[in-house]
Amino acid sequence: MNSLPFSPGVGAVTISRVADNQWHAIENDLVVGRGHASRRLDGRTFLSIDTWRDAVFDRLAAAMLADLTGPLHTVVDETDRDLTANWERAGLTIWRREAEYVVPTRPSAPSAPSAPSGVHIVTDVAEAPLRELDQAIRDEVGSTVGWHTMPAEVLPWQGGTRPIDPSKYTVAVRDGRYVGFVRVATRTRRPRIGLVAVLAAEQRRGIGRALLGHVLDGLHRAGVEAATAEVDETNTAATALFEGIGAERTGRTLELITGKA
């Protein structure tokens, strides 16, 4: 257990690393603050601190940053300016801004948009061509807009082969080849649209909108009124896609980082 005493003026408080990913701030044998580091499957480490005292926050943050190697991330609600200021005081900077949406399953248009000529939307998805498409999209992202604009679903994976569950995907097919997909997680309070992606050569033809419309129509017929989605604010195409089908922006989160990813 590593302990760091607080400087004068803060009180008899000690920071202790109680586990590989947990820190406690202790005062008079009471825990007055907790820090936690969570390593996600995509390899990124996210930090969180729970305390009502700024001085305790500062010491917990300093201990965590000293113990861990970067880059380190955290996510805060844009409206929580105090928490944002605390992390910025610790040395983190805003890396991305992500808009949160509620997406009605019945779009404002009278019916789901149809796929362009020669493209078919399927839900019976095979893993091998899905994995091939996933890799192709990841390669295109890495060479163009960059990983920081994308959700965790397409970030480089740690520890070997990325797990892929075909049941979560709806796919667009042209001439027997997968050219786009939408990924939906349903084991949440509201279904979450994690990713809509189309190969660069097939973009601007309405495939993304058709994929999204197909999924939303299916959710509507299943009795689901709305889904959720998050979009990086620099991704103007995705923003236009969701807002074009009547998605309502409900908030914004900030991702802060200790250094460039």
Q: pLDDT tens, 29-86?
A: 999 999 999 987 667 899 999 999 999 999 999 999 999 997 999 999 999 999 999 9
Same-domain check for residues 121 and 46: no
Same-domain check for residues 105 and 90: no
Query: Per the domain annotation, does 165 fall within a domain?
Result: yes
Same-domain check for residues 225 and 164: yes
Same-domain check for residues 224 and 123: yes
User: 229 - beta bridge partners?
Assistant: 101, 193
Same-domain check for residues 114 and 90: no
Q: Which CATH number is 39's domain given?
A: 3.40.630.30
Between residues 243 and 3, the one the model is more confident about: 243
Query: Per the domain annotation, does 259 fall within a domain?
Result: no
- By residue count, the chain amounts to 261
- Report the DSSP pairing between strands 226-232 and 72-77: unpaired
Same-domain check for residues 23 and 91: yes
C-alpha to C-alpha distances, 168 to 9, 17, 64, 194, nearest whole angstrom: 54, 39, 36, 10
Same-domain check for residues 46 and 115: no
Between residues 213 and 106, the one the model is more confident about: 213
Same-domain check for residues 182 and 148: yes
Torsion, CA 173, CA 190, CA 145, CA 204, rounded to 10: 40
Query: Per the domain annotation, does 243 fall within a domain?
Result: yes
| pLDDT value of residue 101 | 95
Q: How far is CA 21 from the centre of its chain?
A: 21
- Residue that terminates a domain, selected from 71, 95, 119: 95
Same-domain check for residues 152 and 169: yes
2 pLDDT more than 70? no
The per-residue pLDDT for range 169-220, each reduced to its tens digit, is 999 999 999 999 999 988 778 899 988 999 999 999 999 999 999 999 999 9
Query: Per the domain annotation, does 193 fall within a domain?
Result: yes
Same-domain check for residues 119 and 89: no
Q: What is the pTM of this model?
A: 0.75
The per-residue pLDDT for range 135-146, each reduced to its tens digit, is 898 888 877 665
Query: Per the domain annotation, does 69 fall within a domain?
Result: yes
| pLDDT value of residue 137 | 87
Query: Per the domain annotation, does 140 fall within a domain?
Result: yes
User: Mean pLDDT in the chain?
Assistant: 86
C-alpha to C-alpha distances, 208 to 68, 79, 87, 122, 244, nearest whole angstrom: 40, 31, 36, 13, 12
Same-domain check for residues 76 and 129: no
Alpha-carbon span 8 to 48, nearest angstrom: 25
Query: Per the domain annotation, does 261 fall within a domain?
Result: no
11 pLDDT more than 70? no
Alpha-carbon span 134 to 168, nearest angstrom: 13
| pLDDT value of residue 151 | 53
Query: Per the domain annotation, does 249 fall within a domain?
Result: yes
Same-domain check for residues 129 and 226: yes
Whether the Cβ atoms of residue 258 and residue 103 lie closer than 8 Å to each other: no
* Structural domain harbouring 86: 3-95
Domain count, the chain: 2
109 pLDDT more than 80? no
- Residue that terminates a domain, selected from 39, 67, 95: 95
Residue 187 CB burial class (10 angstroms; 0-12, 13-18, ≥19): exposed
- Residue that terminates a domain, selected from 76, 95, 114: 95
**Average of per-residue pLDDT across 16-26:** 96
C-alpha to C-alpha distances, 255 to 95, 144, 171, 187, 194, nearest whole angstrom: 6, 21, 30, 24, 17
120 pLDDT more than 50? yes
150 pLDDT more than 80? no
